Amino acid sequence: MSVEVERKFLCNADTLKKLEEIGAVCVGQQQIHDQYFDTPEFHLTLRDMWLRKRKGCWELKCPTAEAQSGKQGEAAASLCTRYKEITSLPEIHLRVKEVIKQDRESEAGFSQEDESWLSKLDLVCFAEFTTARCSFTLKEEGVQIDLDQADFGYHVGEIEVLISEGGDEQAALEKIRKTAEKLGLTGDQRVKGKMDVYLKRNHPEHYAKLLSEHIL
């Protein structure tokens, strides 16, 4: 299982030029269609768990043990998020069921095509959008930089480093800090992600609930 450590940043007219200057190499462009699911009572997102279907595959992003214990470290680290990324469908099902505390055993299978487990756990799609993504790498740092343009009009960049669970988070944070410095990123405020902007516009009640619980 991998842990994604990332820092979001606001893009501007100079971002592409800056990436070129620091030697970032474009490694591809893609369209990403995401559908996010939760119960009507927000069982998952209120625990900072994000279940999504992307390119026909299920993914669950959930907080790491450190994030759950509230450890943030220094200020630069607090600009970053870390989430475990689970892609095994049986494990996703297990974790989701654990949170929803469904008494009734689901008899659904675990194929990517059979979606009956969703309705059995009362999971509905609450957000759906497409992102045009350009990805860059900084090879010597093992860093990926994504420039995302969401179809609802939000443009955001992210500097990310993947580590294994229990891997060297400090080293990942340091790589992100260095990359941010090279890109000339200033500001000590966390930048909003796509979901933040999407929910604020489309589901203000859900958004308000997540804000009040300090999830967003």
> Which residue ranges make up the site for ligand V4E (CB under 6 A)?
4, 8, 50, 61, 81, 83, 158, 190, 193-195, 216
- Closest to ligand V4E by CB, 35 vs 170, is 35
**Phi-psi region for residue 64, left (φ > 0), alpha (ψ -120 to 50) or beta?**
beta
Task: Enter the tokens of residue 63.
Answer: 């907080």
Q: What is the 3-state secondary structure (H, E, C) of 85-135?
A: EECCHHHHHHHHHHHHCCCCCCCCCCCCCCCHHHHHCCCEEEEEEEEEEEE
In sequence order, the β-bridge partners of residue 82 are 5
Please, what is the minimum distance in Å from the beta carbon of residue 94 to ligand V4E?
19
Please, what is the minimum distance in Å from the beta carbon of residue 59 to ligand V4E?
7
CA 108 to chain centroid, in Å, comes to 27
- Closest to ligand V4E by CB, 117 vs 207, is 207
- Closest to ligand V4E by CB, 35 vs 112, is 35
3-state class (DSSP) for residue 197 = helix
Please, what is the minimum distance in Å from the beta carbon of residue 63 to ligand V4E?
8
- Closest to ligand V4E by CB, 84 vs 93, is 84
At residue 215, φ and ψ (nearest 5 deg) are -85, -40
3-state class (DSSP) for residue 148 = strand
- Closest to ligand V4E by CB, 42 vs 105, is 42
Task: Enter the tokens of residue 81.
Answer: 């998020």
Please, what is the minimum distance in Å from the beta carbon of residue 167 to ligand V4E?
17
CA distances to 137, 156, 157, 175 from 15, rounded to whole Å, are: 14, 11, 9, 18
Please, what is the minimum distance in Å from the beta carbon of residue 171 to ligand V4E?
19
- Closest to ligand V4E by CB, 117 vs 157, is 157
Please, what is the minimum distance in Å from the beta carbon of residue 201 to ligand V4E?
14
Counting every residue written for the chain, the total comes to 216
